[in-house]
Every structure is written in C-alpha cells, then in structure tokens.
Amino acid sequence: MKSQNIPGTKAKKLLERDLEVISPSYPRAYPFVMDHGKGSEIWDVDGNRFIDFASGIAVCSTGHSHPKVVEAIKNQVDNFIHISSDFYHPVWVEFSEKIASTAPFKEPAKVFLGNSGTEAVEAAIKLARAHTGRHHFIGFFGAFHGRTMGSLAFTSSKIQYRESFSPMMSGVTHVPYPDPYRPILVQAENEDYGEAVVRYIEEVVFARTVPPQETAAIMVEPILGEGGYVVPPAGFFPALRRLCDKHGILLIADEVQSGVGRTGKWWAIEHWGVEPDIVCFAKGIASGMPLGGILARASVMDWPMGAHGNTFGGNPVSCSAGLATLELIEGGFKENAAEVGEYTLDALSEIMTRHTSIGQVRGKGLMIGIEFVKDRESKIPAPDLRDRIVDKAFYNGLITLGSGKNCIRIAPPLNISQDLISEGLQMLEDAITSAEAEA
Ligand SMILES: Cc1ncc(COP(=O)(O)O)c(C=O)c1O
C-alpha cells in the first residue's frame, strides 16, 4: 500500500494556486500533480511514483519522454520552431507522407493538419460538406468528438458537455451506438446487433427525418472512447459501409482515441476490414506534442485553396515528434500493444472471476474498458463504485481514468511492459476489493 502522503505538501500548494487561476471548467480526476515521467511510470512533485494506465488520455503513446521523441523535438527546436502554413517545409511533408502511408484505404491519401482532436473533427465536417455539397450528418449517442461548436454537435457522451451551449450546429441526427452489452433496439432473428443499428438508420431515420441524398457523412468512433470503450459487433462496420455506398455518403472514422497503433493496428477500423473515406487523428500521434488532423482519400480532399487552413498547421516541432512517434510505433510498439493488450484482457478476465461488480471487460490492443455494475444479472450501472475504485487506485499508485458512466479505461503507453501491467493490475484489484467491501 502506498504512503498516505498524497497529495503531499508541494502538491497541496500547487492545487491552491491552480484553483485561483485556472478555468474551473476542466474536469479533474483526482489531485495528481505531475513532476516527471519515464516510459510508463510517472512521479508527482512530492516524489510519489505511479504506474500510468491513462497516458494523458491515450496521448503518450510512446511512453513519457521517449529519448527518440525528445531528440527529434530538440533537433527541430534548434533549427526553427514555426513558419506558418502559408509556406513550405520538409518535416511537414515527411510527416504527411508517413501518416498517409498508413491510411486504411487503398486510394492515395491527402492530409490536413491542426493541433487537436476537435480541430481534426471540424476539418472532417467541413471537408464532408465541401466535397458532397450536402448538409446532414449522422452521429451516435455516447460518442465524443470534441468541444468546439461543430464537433460538439456530434458529442453526446454526457449532457454536461452540451448544457448552456445551445444552439448546436444544425444537421446532426444521433442514433444509438451499437453496444452489444446494452442493446436498446430490437434485433431481427439471426441479426447482428450492429446490423440492427444500421437498419434503424435506413428504415427509421432515412425514411422519416433525414433525406439520405442530402446526407454528407456518418461520423463514428470505431471503438467508443469517452463513451465507455465500447467495441461494436462484427456486422456493424460492413453494414454501415454498405449503407454509405448505397447513398453516396462519406464514412468518417474518428480515430482520435482509437488510432495510431493503440488497438494493435494503425487504425481500429482495420479490425473490421472496412475502408472509411476520412480518418480523424490526434492524441497519440505525436507522443504529447499538440498535433491532430485528417487523412482523406485524395479524391475526397478536393477543396480549393483557401477553403480551410490555420496558422499552426504542420507545426515543425509537432511534425518532428509525430514522425519519431510513427517510426517507434511501426518499429514494434504496435505489436507490443496487441500482445500486451491480449495479456491484459486475459488477466482482467481472471480478475473478473473474483469480482461480481465487473459486468464486462472488453477492448482491443491497449484500449480496454472495464464496466462496473451493481450485479451481473441486472447490469445496473455502478458509477459511484467506479469512482471510488479510480480514487483508491490512485492512492495505491495507479493512474486510471473513468470512461462513460460506469467504466474504467485502460490506455497505457503502447510500449508498456507485461511486468508493469501486472503490477498495475494488482493495484487495481486491491482498489476493487476495498471499494466492494465498502459498498
Ligand atoms: C474520439 C475523440 N474525438 C475527438 C476528441 C477531441 O480531442 P481534443 O480533446 O484533442 O480536442 C477526443 C478527445 O477525447 C476523442 O476521444
């Protein structure tokens, strides 16, 4: 068991100063005050060590301050830091060539860069409208796509994100995300639940409220991120692709959380053998430097000069970090995510046999969700228990984050070792045991 000196004296002082000056809108999990990190371990300002199962919300994909990423950043900073997207420079092109080579579609890809996930989604929305000349979109309940006014119109994981910000951008219609653990639509006999959701879009939404010929795109997370790390059933993506093809609708895969090797493949949608038209990426792409963007089929990214742009797009420091990140992921971290992810899922399945409050464990690679329930029969969500487990894990020395109403997400750096996973899972199980005993 960890020392009770959390938060310690230095951390407490900083928390007081933070309270005075930082926007109160940030959703803070617990009082972790970072000092430094190395790989999958981090230390707070009072010298307490933690294992990092959250990696800054799936961002530090190569671990904290990987030497190759640090070296790439330092070299670039010595050279130049910024020139603006009005001009040209090599590392922007090199990074774009590299990310384009990973595109989950056969056609050549073109790349647009910004600084965050929400900007990537905004770019996808604008490109879809510009390319198709259509107005409407389909999004999914439970999804998170960002907090700026375009992406927010799609975000529907929690009401807090939307309260007091209406009216939203018009044209977005939500349908249920295919959560096989909690289906809310009726399935036909022998129908996969993912197919049932697509049939609902076709038979209800497209027949009654949203003309498919006026629909620009369907925006979807291949695995729900903020919404609870939900993995859709096998039939979902093939059926969704067929629906898009039938009506000339673009398929946008928001891979901001699930992409860049996290699930053991470059892009999570590859697990279903389906090719999207636009892919949004950010988070893990540059190991913590701000970078986000979209990959689109070259035939789709046909907007004219001046249609969309930004000041910081193609930032050389972020692109250098991104290039180093992609090389590391390609050089073995993607495979490690698949292998260690498998090991983690197995270990969690075993932990599940000892804890009836775990309703389901699911995921791909190192994108794993644990859903907590009152009991497995009723599946009633247990959000308070989940919150207590996250809190107790922290005091045990493990950084985790909640996801959805009642899940914990496991999203460590992609190069985490099996040993650190085992150590972290022990801390997590201790937290579960202690929280269950209080229930
Ligand atoms: C799937 C997805 N899309 C978009 C975003 C928004 O990214 P950002 O917070 O960088 O704006 C997130 C962030 O969690 C996300 O998970």
Between the CA of 427 and the centroid of ligand 1 the distance, in Å, is 28
pLDDT digits (tens, 9 = 90+) for 179-215: 999 999 999 999 999 999 999 999 999 999 999 999 9
pLDDT confidence band for 9 (50 / 70 / 90): very high
Between the CA of 147 and the centroid of ligand 1 the distance, in Å, is 8
Computed over every residue of the chain, the mean pLDDT equals: 97
pLDDT digits (tens, 9 = 90+) for 300-353: 999 999 999 999 999 999 999 999 999 999 999 999 999 999 999 999 999 999
Between the CA of 253 and the centroid of ligand 1 the distance, in Å, is 12
Ligand 1: which residue has its CA nearest to atom 10? 117
pLDDT digits (tens, 9 = 90+) for 271-304: 999 999 999 999 999 999 999 999 999 999 999 9
pLDDT digits (tens, 9 = 90+) for 101-142: 999 999 999 999 999 999 999 999 999 999 999 999 999 999
Between the CA of 36 and the centroid of ligand 1 the distance, in Å, is 24
Atom of ligand 1 nearest to the CA of 151: 4
**Side chain identity at residue 202, one-letter code:** E
Whether the pLDDT of residue 4 is over 80: the answer is no
Atom of ligand 1 nearest to the CA of 226: 16
Between the CA of 365 and the centroid of ligand 1 the distance, in Å, is 19
Q: What percent of the chain has pLDDT over 90?
A: 98
Q: Domains in the chain, ordered, with CATH?
A: 9-65+335-438 (3.90.1150.10), 67-329 (3.40.640.10)
pLDDT digits (tens, 9 = 90+) for 68-81: 999 999 999 999 99
Axis-axis angle for helices 418-438, 334-354 (nearest 10):
30
Ligand 1: which residue has its CA nearest to atom 7? 117
Position 3 scores a pLDDT of: 55
- Ligand 1 pocket, residues with Cβ under 6 angstroms: 57, 116-118, 121, 144-146, 221, 225-226, 254, 256-257, 282
pLDDT digits (tens, 9 = 90+) for 339-398: 999 999 999 999 999 999 999 999 999 999 999 999 999 999 999 999 999 999 999 999
Q: For a substitution probing ligand 1, which of 61, 122, 125, 144 has the most ligand atoms within 8 Å of its CB?
A: 144
Position 2 scores a pLDDT of: 59
Atom of ligand 1 nearest to the CA of 257: 16
Side-by-side strand order, sheet with 49-52 = 34-38, 41-44, 49-52, 398-399
